[in-house]
A = this chain, B = another copy of it.
Amino acid sequence: MAISNNAGIDPSLTPFFAPQGIAVIGASRHPDKLGYGLARNLIQSNFQGVIHFVNPRGGSLMGRPMYTSIVEVPDPVDLAVLLVPAQAVPRILIDCGERGLRAAIIASGGFRETGAEGAALEDECLEIASRYQMRLLGPNCIGVLDTHLPLDATFLPPPGPLPGDVAFISHSGAICAAVIDWARGQGFGLSRLVSLGNQADVNETDVLAPVAADPFTRVLTLYLEGVSNGRRFVAEASQVALKKPIIALKVGRFSSGRRAVASHTGALAGQENAFNAAFRRAGVIRADTSEEMFDWARALAWCPLPAGRAMAVLTNAGGPGVTAADALEVNGLHLCDFSPETRTALQALLPPAASLNNPVDMLASATPEQYAACLQVLLQAPEVHGVLVILPPPPMHTAGAVAKKLIPVIHESAKPVVIALMGERLIQEAVEHFRAARVPEYRFPERAASALAILAERAEFLRRERQHLAPANPAAQAAGAALLRDQPSGWLPAEATLKLLEAYSIPTPRTILAATPQQAFSQAEQLGFPLAMKIASPDIQHKSDIGGVLLDINSPEAAARAFTELMERARVSQPGARLLGVHLQPMLPAGQDVILGAVQDAQFGPLVMFGSGGIEVEGLKDVAFGLAPLTVEEAQHMLASTWAGRKLGGYRSLPPADGEAVLQALLHLSRLASDFPALHEIEINPLRVLGKGQGVVALDVRARLSKVSLSQP
């Protein structure tokens, strides 16, 4: 009988992962039909539950009866796999529902992927499923496969994957077939495979927890063309990633449409930045290529995690050692310095001409015993967090002999070891040994170094502080709601925007509106000098672009002149704009200027940006994104990953600025953005950062409400 590993998981999905009885609807006697392949795979997979075949023509297949309808199929049966023409699917789904089934895989194509008619058919299926409280996987998918249960409910040509510890969840069926074949050729196994197809019902997020619950699965790999619901994906993936690593290959980077945005933040917050911020929050590791994904998966499945980023390289040749050293640095790792004890221990094992520095070059004469003994020394050295072993075809020994000596040393250690096993035919025996021993090996030092870096990244993710979300501020939220309640959609008036920031503890400069030159004169006297003056118009957002800002106003007369000048400039450059007058603000002390912004992402909700401000934001692209509300750690990461953030600490003649105040402003802004989904975009550019302990001031800010309702989330 099938064993359920799905305790605590949505029980409606259990039949997909631990079925008691499966009915293949569309099973076929013709070996060139997919319905034959499916029946064959199911039987050959050694599935321990009951297998039923259904075909309206009846007869028998592989020694089993073919029922003419699902309604005739005897118990137990809790999963149907449909491989029939699309037009026939709705009728059969109804039969399944009547028969009491609550789960079906629709492997058939001919649905949404073919156009409007297919989409209507798919909607009909979904409606039927909902009527019978039935869960659907597909349509247009390869199905599911579990090498340990075992179960192969796909129609792919054999052989299937070897049993292993990497699960693969895919939006593309064609990729599944290629990955199974490729993984088998590379000698590593899969645990579970789920092909999602059109995701009429069950989607990538739904299957994360059930797949991760499989005790044989040590790593989840995802081929994603998008996510169905950004925030739900982040929530689910965050839970799973705490227990098991998730690697995602997210494709479709360049296919996203442009959004209607008016801010720098919106322009820069493309789908990719949103995905990167979401993956970082969830602890999902993003791979750039398929090969990288599975290179990393093997290391994550098989290796212990390193305590840090200090690595050693053990080699029998200088050239590959240099390549490995480069690759480690490129991947953000570093070569550690050896202690005198380590050097002494290595010296005792190696000839005088060997290099006892890192990389350790044992010379071409290195024996299998020397490889093993030196590796042991390195793994026992406290300064070493992990080791990259380089093994080209050794001139005097076989790589296989070296592998046999290395494996016990690797298995004994709690530190990760990856192997650059260079060559092809001369290393086959070593390849077999390492794979059987679950030691990750790669053809080139560069790939081995990249895998080691991912282990360090995973370790850091698990150590990372996750608790301190930007604190909720009910008083600010209430004040914000009051401010926004009566605002129409579109750009918020400057006064309301400034008040909104103040409610969220983001300081703004004292600002007075002058409607006439006379008012400018008298208000300037009142505020004191020097002053900044800015055109006030709900229709002009990039004020400096039209010369709508004048600085260093030093007298009431100058203020009155500036008023006239600014109004004139605005009339000339934007004739239709409504002009409310001119804002007067006291000039602030010099400091560092940065940009803070937030935008509502269609996929992931509010997204916050930090970076180099001014007018060149989109040119410099020195910005970082995070999901709102931010954690303190994320906000710190955004500062650390931009030049704008790093230079807050001071740089040459630039004095240190109040980085802590920036951090707080970023956290507050992130809370503001998440409190009000109707706030489509808000941007502070620049935020003036004063000296240490002297805070920040939002020198200019603009915000836009979308047409959605202002009800609280």
Is the C-beta of A31 less than 8 angstroms from some C-beta in chain B? no
With A115-B353, A174-B392 as contacts: A653 and B544 at CB distance below 8 Å? yes
Name the one of B178, B255, B322, B447 contacting A291, with C-beta atoms under 8 angstroms.
Answer: B447
A540-552 CB contact bits vs B (8 Å, 1 = yes)? 0010111100000
Chain B residues with CB below 8 A from A353, complex form: 110, 113-115
Copies of this chain in the oligomer: 2
Which residue of B289, B329, B395 is within 8 Å of A446 (Cβ)? Answer: B289
List A residues 657-705 near B (Cβ within 8 Å). none
A547 to B110 alpha-carbon distance, docked (Å): 73
A173 close to B (CB within 8 Å):
yes
Considering the chains assembled together, what is the distance between the CA atoms of A181 and B544 in angstroms?
Answer: 63
- Residue from A225, A325, A393, A545 with most neighbouring chain B CB atoms (10 Å): A393
Nearest neighbor of A182 in chain B, beta-carbon distance: B424
Q: Are A320 and B178 in contact (CB under 8 A)?
A: yes
CB 8 Å contact bits of A423-459 with B (1 = contact, 0 = none): 1111100000000000000011111000000000000
A309 at the interface (CB under 8 A from B): no
The interface residues of chain B lying within 8 Å CB-to-CB of A174 are 316-320, 364, 392, 422
Partner of A395, one of B110, B177, B183: B177
- With CB as the reference atom, state the residue of chain B lying closest to A353: B114
Q: Given A173-B317, A447-B291, A615-B651, answer yes or no on A254-B182 (Cβ-Cβ < 8 Å).
A: no
Q: What separation, in Å, do the CA atoms of A508 and B355 have in the docked complex?
A: 54
Q: How far is the CA of A662 from the CA of B212 in the complex (A)?
A: 59
Map CB proximity to B onto A113-130 as digits: 1 under 8 Å, 0 otherwise: 111000000000000000
Q: Give min CB distance, A264 to chain B, whole Å.
A: 10
Complex CA distance for A290 and B159, rounded to whole angstroms: 31
A647 within 8 A of B: yes
A34 located at the interface, meaning its Cβ lies under 8 Å from any Cβ of chain B in the complex: yes
- Which chain B residues lie closer than 8 Å to A652 at the CB level? 542, 545, 615
Contact of A319 among B173, B181, B289, B426 (CB under 8 A): B173
Q: For A396, what are the chain B residues with a Cβ–Cβ distance below 8 Å? A: 32
> Is A47 part of the binding interface, using a Cβ–Cβ cutoff of 8 Å?
no
Task: Flag if B620 contacts A643 (CB, 8 Å).
Answer: yes
- Within 8 Å of chain B (Cβ to Cβ): is A488? no
Measured between beta carbons, the chain B residues less than 8 angstroms from A393 are 157, 177-178, 181
Chain B residue at smallest Cβ distance from A651: B619
Please measure, in the bound complex, the distance between the C-alpha atom of A113 and the C-alpha atom of B354, giving whole angstroms: 10
Binary contact readout A291-328 vs B (1 if CB under 8 angstroms, 0 otherwise): 10000000000000000000000001111101101110
Query: Is A76 interfacial (CB-CB < 8 Å)?
Result: no
Least Cβ–Cβ distance between A321 and chain B, in angstroms: 9
* Residues in chain B near residue A252, CB distance under 8 A: 322, 326
Contact call A423/B253, Cβ cutoff below 8 A: no
- Write the chain B residue with the least CB distance to A445: B290
Nearest residue (CB) in B for A423 is B181
Contact of A185 among B178, B254, B392, B424 (CB under 8 A): B424
**Known contacts A291-B444, A443-B291, A446-B288; is A171 also within 8 Å of B319 by CB?**
yes
> Which residues from chain B contact A395 at a C-beta distance below 8 Å?
34, 155-157, 177
Within 8 A of B (CB), among A637-665: 643, 646-647, 651-654
Within 8 A of B (CB), among A506-555: 542, 544-547
Which B residue's beta carbon lies closest to that of A543?
B653
Chain B residue contacts of A223, Cβ below 8 A = 319
A172's partner among B320, B425, B544, B653 (CB-CB below 8 A) is B320
Tell me how far the C-beta of A34 lies from the nearest C-beta in chain B, rounded to whole angstroms.
7
The distance from the CB of A654 to the nearest CB of chain B, in whole angstroms, is 7
The answer to whether B251 touches A319, judged by C-beta atoms less than 8 angstroms apart, is yes
- Residues in chain B near residue A173, CB distance under 8 A: 317, 319
A184 within 8 Å of B (CB atoms): yes
A616 located at the interface, meaning its Cβ lies under 8 Å from any Cβ of chain B in the complex: yes
Known: A185-B423, A185-B425, A322-B251. A392 touches B178 (CB 8 A): yes
A181 touches B444 (CB 8 A): no
Structural contact, A643 and B615, CB atoms closer than 8 A:
no
State in angstroms the CA–CA spacing of A320 and B544 once bound together.
Answer: 46
- Write the nearest CB–CB distance from A175 to chain B, whole angstroms: 5
Whether, in the assembled complex, A330 has its beta carbon less than 8 Å from a beta carbon of chain B, the answer is yes
In angstroms, Cα B392 to Cα A380, docked, is 45
Q: A184-B424, A424-B182 are in contact. Are A319 and B34 (CB under 8 A)?
A: no
Tell me the bound Cα distance from A652 to B409 in angstroms.
Answer: 62
On whether the beta carbons of B619 and A646 are closer than 8 Å, the reply is yes
21 contacts between A and B (CB under 8 A): A115-B353, A156-B395, A171-B319, A172-B322, A173-B317, A173-B319, A178-B392, A181-B425, A182-B422, A185-B423, A185-B424, A225-B319, A225-B322, A251-B323, A291-B443, A545-B652, A547-B653, A616-B647, A616-B651, A619-B651, A620-B620
Known: A225-B322, A253-B330. 8 other contacts (CB 8 A): A172-B319, A178-B423, A181-B427, A185-B425, A251-B326, A253-B329, A289-B327, A291-B443
